[in-house]
Copies of this chain bind each other. A is one copy, B any other.
Amino acid sequence: MELHRVGIIGLGLIGGSIGLDLQAKGHEVCGWVNKEENAIKAKERGLAQFISTDPEIIADCSIVILALPLPQLIEPAKQLINALPINAVITDVGSVKKPVLNKWRRLHPKFVASHPMSGTIHTGVEAGQRKLFKNKPWVATPDETTDNDALTVVKNLAISLGSDWITTDAETHDQAVALISHLPVYISASLLKSVNEERNNKVSTLAKTIASSGFKDTTRVGGGNPDLGVAMARYNSEKILETFTTYRASIDKFEKMISHKQWDKLKQELEQTQQNRSNYL
């Protein structure tokens, strides 16, 4: 693979992890961060060779990765837009693609909307780690305005980090992530809320004492980063609300099987969900 000078805007979990991997592949990495303290920490951790709070740092880059939280990505600062080299390939890592693409296809001719699907519970400049993307999906959502050569550049970069490259349209992406990534946050948070709002004190105290691995797993994403949970809801609300409707229908069916004592039917359903899960996880 051709060696690049790659700019990364934001050196949090995703940006920092990309920075570590790209350097290991021989690329030159320039990181632009918002605060001096983050620049210092990112330098200590070696997340990029060159790190600054000055946008000038990305001036000579041939690829720039916008590794920013959704709000800064969807409502980008003027300073950010002006700092991007016109000839560079630009890509993002946002978990919602339609509003990103709608915004950015007007802002830069070589913008490629993409979403590396890797995560840990950690965030910030301390979170970046090697090989975060290995064997994980990296979804790109090109449309008719997307530059084909730019798409190939991003594809090669994703593949060089070990990702499974997938392309689809932004609409399909946003619907799929609403279902498997965003909805789980709210159904998991709802479970925590239900335990917390249990009015019988004896029950709620015992519940909290005996909560075990099953509860821990089911509530993990509902106890995650609140800012991320808000950003998803904000920028993918239409698709998420559709999944609430589907989900409520499923919940209602299970409730009905239980209240009507349809044990054979319940068993069939649970056999089905067991089978489904093992088919694709």
Contact = CB atoms under 8 A, between A and B. Distances in A.
A181 B215 contact: yes
Interface stretch (A9-17, A55-63, A106-114, A246-254): A246-254
A258 B233 contact: yes
Nearest to A208: B280
A20 interface: no
Interface stretch (A73-81, A144-152, A182-190): A182-190
A203 B230 contact: no
Interface string A194-218: 1111101011101111111111111
Given A168-B206, A206-B166, A241 B259 contact: yes
A249 to B, nearest CB: 8
For the complex of A and B, list the 4 residue pairs with the smallest distance between their C-beta atoms, beginning with the closest: A223-B277, A226-B270, A190-B250, A208-B280
Interface string A139-164: 10000000000000000000000000
Count identical subunits in the complex. Answer: 2
A258 B276 contact: no
Contact size range, A: 35 or more
Contacts of A244: 251, 254-255, 258
B203 A251 contact: no
B172 A219 contact: no
B270 A255 contact: no
5 contacts: A186-B254, A187-B251, A194-B246, A219-B277, A229-B266
B179 A203 contact: yes
A229 B247 CA distance: 19
Contacts of A210: 117, 137, 139, 166, 176-177, 180-181
A187 B218 contact: yes
A237 interface: yes
A230 B179 contact: no
A91 interface: no
Contacts of A118: 212
